[in-house]
Amino acid sequence: MRDALRDTSKDGRAAEDTAEDPGSGAGAGTAREAAMGPASRKGARGGRSGDRSDGRGGAAAEGNGAGPAPMLRIDDATVRLGGRPVLDAVGLSVAEHEIVCVLGPSGSGKSTLLRAVAGLQPLDAGRVLLEGRDLEGVPAHRRGVGLMFQDHQLFPQRDVGGNVAFGLRVRGADRERQAARVGELLDLVGLPGSGRRAVASLSGGEQQRVALARALAPRPRLLMLDEPLGQLDRSLRERLVVELRELFGELGTTVLAVTHDQGEAFALADRVVVMREGRIAQSGSPLDVWQRPADAFVARFLGFENVVAATVEGDTASTPWGVLPVPRGTPRGEVTLLVRPAGVRLVAATRGLRCTVAARTFRGTHVAVRLQPPHAPRLEAACALRDAPGTGDEVGVEFDAAEVVVLGGGPDA
């Protein structure tokens, strides 16, 4: 299978003059489990530069002569709609063979960023460079990138195989190569033997899979994905994320993806970029972003709710939840703290901070317990299934300094 997937032109590049395929742009587990996975993701990507961000508030300076030039470089990209900046001087670089996933709430600018790189959204200021080439004025179908949006726009007059093979036919691939590539990709996306099916007979999720296969077929050097697995069921999505990462590694594909699914992003990406109101709030490796959110916004976006204002004195901090231990070296004074749910230990009600169990949520591997202390904000604990208290129970809470993180900005950042 992998031999067929690797069968491409000498340098693996997609043809630059790509036909106008509306579904491929240039012509056409949980976040925590993903972030805490293998620290090294080398495979065929051993030469990748990895995380180029400062890890706290956005991308560090790149492309200044230190090391090879990035595959994609975005300098001060700005887009205004109705006078409001949808992209606000965004700077981002993507190294060759790197997989970067952009996360953010609705309206954060993540899809606009993708469209600007693809040439579907003009910039009001800034520039986009692909392999050092300024793309200003270059139309979408001549940018030499692959692009797939969630509204996949398959060709209704073609069968599934015809859709997947479209880019290959444009590039002059012979029928045997087209058939082999189509078969391998349909197997990959969970639609084996579907080449002769009509598009109208496909479910929404199946159409999404065909669109993904079509975007992958020409092996573009830069592949951009906007919610690529958004219409798939969870089990298939989790399987495909693993297979896609392996496939991208073997092909050496450079990927810029947008997704709302944190687990998908953390499992797929070498680097995660979190956006807020048209700016980059944080950029870093999945593990770094998970372990050290830049501020309260990023922490809450990742699902952490135990964020509180605190005053640090020595190795402890005064908070609405009482005195908490903090990591050594925490600066004195007013700070904002995150306490991960794993650091909220449940003990006997006669010890620590007394709380009432307000709610419980089953999370598969553990139970999330919502706790209400007297005259203080609610907090969340994570505990094993066998140890989970019942709703209405009285418990005590103690805190683990190793799970306390000092955040930038205030608690409402």
The packing angle between helices 175-188 and 234-251, to 10°, is 140
Instruction: Answer yes or no: is 299 within a domain.
Output: no
Residue 298 belongs to some domain of the structure: no
DSSP-derived letter for residue 159 is B
pLDDT, tens digit (0-9, with 9 covering 90-100), for 276-328: 999 999 999 999 999 999 999 999 999 999 999 999 999 999 999 999 999 88
Residues 98 and 231 in one domain: yes
Q: Give the residue numbers spanning the domain of 60.
A: 2-291
Secondary structure tally for the chain: helices H, strands E: 11, 20
Q: How many CA atoms lie within 13 A of 195 on its CB side?
A: 16
Given 291, 323, 352, which residue is the final one in a domain?
291
Q: What is the pLDDT of residue 34?
A: 57
Residues 287 and 308 in one domain: no
CATH code (residue 51):
3.40.50.300
C-alpha angle 317-323-326 in degrees, rounded to nearest 5: 45
Picking from 264, 291, 318, the residue at the C-terminal end of a domain is 291
- Give SS3 for 298: helix
Inside any domain, residue 296: no
Amino acid at 252: G
Does any domain span residue 214? yes
DSSP state, residue 325: E
Share of the chain above pLDDT 90, in %: 59
Give CA–CA dist 274/289, Å, rounded.
9
Q: Are residues 283 and 368 part of one domain?
A: no
Report yes or no on whether pTM surpasses 0.85: no
Residue 153 has a pLDDT of 81
- Whether residue 312 is found in the same domain as residue 282: no
pLDDT tens sequence across 108-139: 999 999 999 999 999 999 999 999 999 999 99
Return the half-sphere exposure (C-beta side, CA atoms, 13 A cut-off) of residue 51: 20
pLDDT tens, position by position, 195-246: 999 999 998 778 878 988 898 888 887 999 988 777 677 887 888 788 888 8
> Do 319 and 177 share a structural domain?
no
Q: Cα(401)–Cα(147) distance, rounded to whole angstroms?
A: 45
Structure confidence at residue 387 (pLDDT): 86
Q: What is the pLDDT of residues 11-53, one digit of tens each?
A: 333 333 333 343 333 333 455 555 655 434 444 444 444 443 4
Do residue 206 and residue 311 come from a single domain? Answer: no
In a domain, 265, yes or no: yes
User: In this structure, are 312 and 276 located in the same domain?
Assistant: no
Residue 411 lies in a domain: no
Structural domain contains residue 412: no
- What is residue 66's predicted lDDT score, i.e. its pLDDT? 52
Count of domains observed in the chain: 2
